[in-house]
Amino acid sequence: MAPIPKTMSGIVIEQVGGPEVLKWKTDLPVPELKEGEVLVKNEYVGVNYIDTYFRTGLYKAPYPLITGKEAAGTIAAAHPSVAAQFPVGTRVGYLADHAYAALTAVPASRVLVLPDGVSTEQAASALLQGLTALTFVREAAGITPAPEGTEGPWVLVHAAAGGVGTWLVQLLAAVGARVIGTAGSSDKCEIARQNGAKYVVHSRDEDVVARVNEITGGHGVDVIFDGVGKATFDSDLEMITRKGTVVMVGNASGAVPPFDILRLGPKNIKLLRPVLFNYIVTREEMETYTNELFELISSGKIKVKVHEEYPLEDVARAHSDLEARKTTGKLVLKL
Ligand code: NDP
């Protein structure tokens, strides 16, 4: 077993701002393990839109901050209280804070041993976005497989070629939903179609509301998954059908401002703003969904699509690309 160094490299945010505030450092202290924690040597770190919210200050955190919510690698050390479950060298993935670093101390309850059929890169690319899509389809929207010989619900997925969008579209297509994907370029529309969207709408060139009305023959959509937020929320209320479900997934264009709840009444709309982490609070919830996710990946039923592997030092470029709508699928940092 290699000795644990005293210092490590990583990315620190000292103050909120643009991608330039993500600073590469080589002399960060290696975290000391507390009871119930393991030290993971990160090999791949997933980049998620939430990382940009902590960088810009939309979501609050104490600074200086090492951000990052997911990674995969190997166990470098374990507190004696959990050492028996996590031998050094075990391949693991996790959902926890401070992933933008060479080494991260993680509560063992948030760590998952990786099966042979899931690569370390796939785990770091899939955990957060894949579990978001799985839990939101199942628990937020309550979508179940369409019975044989019937047509599934009309479902609109915004940013259908993005990270979460790529997962949502594949999962929804697999259960027979009639998926309409929006995307901001022709290339992205093609990717959304390849992901399984039956219909695609170019959100910068076309009138999305009019196209959805046309595609659904005036019915509107039964469910909307919206990770764009501020820019699309009002039109969601137009496109949703009576008794439909609008799942606000995130804030890529900004947070939805406070609104008048009476606007839900004319169509008895169900509106949710769920958070992945609150669907996987218990170990049982986390393992149930993760086992399913790993099976979907190892069986090839769902493809993990990586846009680009960026060196950890290059994380500012990854954030710039993500926020400039230049990416599709998942962005990962390689150590
Ligand atoms: P994406 O890969 O989907 O990137 C965001 C996409 O949003 C862009 O590619 C772009 O696609 C679209 N977009 C539209 N308008 C804008 C805008 N003004 N600025 C930036 N992007 C815009 O990111 P992620 O998959 O990482 O995340 C998607 C959403 O899901 C985010 O809102 C994120 O916060 C949310 N999320 C929420 C979770 C939860 O627990 N609630 C968990 C995980 C993610 P296009 O050009 O095709 O329109």
93 lines ligand 1 (CB under 6 A): no
pLDDT along the chain (335 residues), means of 10: 88 98 98 97 98 97 97 98 97 98 98 98 98 98 94 97 98 97 98 98 98 98 98 98 98 96 98 98 97 98 97 98 98 98
190 lines ligand 1 (CB under 6 A): no
Element (H, E) at 52: helix 49-56
Question: What is the ipTM for the molecules in this complex?
Answer: 0.99
Q: How far is the CA of 125 from the centre of ligand 1 (A)?
A: 15
For the chain, domains (ranges, CATH) are 7-130+280-334 (3.90.180.10), 145-273 (3.40.50.720)
249 lines ligand 1 (CB under 6 A): yes
Nearest atom (ligand 1) to Cα of 192: 47
Which stretches does DSSP call E strand in the chain? 7-13, 22-29, 37-47, 70-78, 91-95, 103-107, 111-113, 154-157, 178-183, 199-202, 221-226, 240-248, 270-272, 306-311, 330-334
Cis peptide before 64 (omega within 30 of 0): yes
Helix and strand numbers, DSSP H then E, in the chain = 8, 15
Q: Which of 228, 232, 251 has most ligand 1 atoms within 8 Å of CB, for mutation? A: 228
Token duo for residue 47: 């980049």
pLDDT for 138 equals 97
Q: What are the Cα distances from residue 305, in Å, to 122, 130, 194, 263?
A: 9, 11, 11, 38
pTM of the entire predicted model: 0.98
Q: Are 241 and 214 in contact (CB under 8 A)?
A: no
pLDDT for 129 equals 98
**Which one-letter DSSP state was computed for residue 80?**
T
Q: What are the Cα distances from residue 72, in Å, to 102, 142, 232?
A: 11, 30, 34
Largest CA distance in the chain: 65
pLDDT for 317 equals 98
In total, the chain counts a number of residues equal to 335
pLDDT for 3 equals 84
pLDDT for 1 equals 60
